[in-house]
Amino acid sequence: MTAIATMRSLIIAQIPAANDLLIDRTLIEVAREFCDYTRAWRTTVSETVTADTLEVALTPPTDGELVDIVKATLDGNPLTKKTMEQLDEAAPKWRTDPKSGNYITLSDTQDEVLVAPISSTTYTSGLSVRAAWRPVLGATTLDTMLISRYSDALVHGTLGRLLSIPSTDWMDGPLASHYLAMYQNDMITARQKSADGNMKGIVRKVRYGGL
């Protein structure tokens, strides 16, 4: 993990009057939106499925919270990802009936999933989940690989939002629109890379300091 403070200089170079608290808060909001949309921050976790229990808590990375399940296996066998609404409609007995299939779904509890049907066996570290995360609101760090691959996108989004704040000395509508347009393109590209499994990242090309 990398401290958010390490990215401030990229923002201050463009908006010297912005204070650290505002920069950090805006950067976190942008990073949360970016991760929600792109599913770019991913890790694989192994957890224990306890007999006679649906719920499995996933261990989040530092300053992270669960956004989505990318894929999962139990004891090496793939689990089908569905929403609870989809399961209730298609297989009403999915929680208990082995004939309904093997599923994983997000719980209503943060950083928790449900593995169905309920197992009569405990699988120690037998659940493998490829999970997508986002920073928590109070994060002070960001995933190092996320910054390495997508720092340009995070800076574009942060600059765009800060430059859009009315009644500030630094408000600049045209420049804000410029950065926000780049940020939208960055998000689309990152989402496509995540969907394709192509996570090579984005080569830094932009020099901050104006058009």
**208 falls within a domain:** no
To which H or E segment does residue 31 belong? helix 20-38
Are 52 and 125 in the same domain? yes
Domain final residue pick, 90, 113, 134: 134
Domain final residue pick, 134, 156, 178: 134
- The pLDDT assigned to 177 comes to 97
The 10s digit of each residue's pLDDT in 89-116 is 888 888 888 877 899 999 999 999 999 9
**154 falls within a domain:** yes
Of the CA atoms within 13 Å of residue 86, those in its CB half-sphere come to 8
Sign of CA pseudo-dihedral 174, 177, 183, 189: negative
Are 34 and 61 in the same domain? no
Q: Which structural domain range is residue 165 located in?
A: 2-39+143-196
Are 126 and 69 in the same domain? yes
Asked whether residue 199 carries a pLDDT value surpassing 90, the answer given is no
pTM score above 0.85: yes
The 10s digit of each residue's pLDDT in 37-48 is 999 999 999 999
Domain final residue pick, 88, 113, 134: 134
- The pLDDT assigned to 208 comes to 39
**181 falls within a domain:** yes
Please identify which residue in the block is written with the tokens 């499994």: 197
Q: How far apart are CA 23 and CA 42, in angstroms?
A: 25
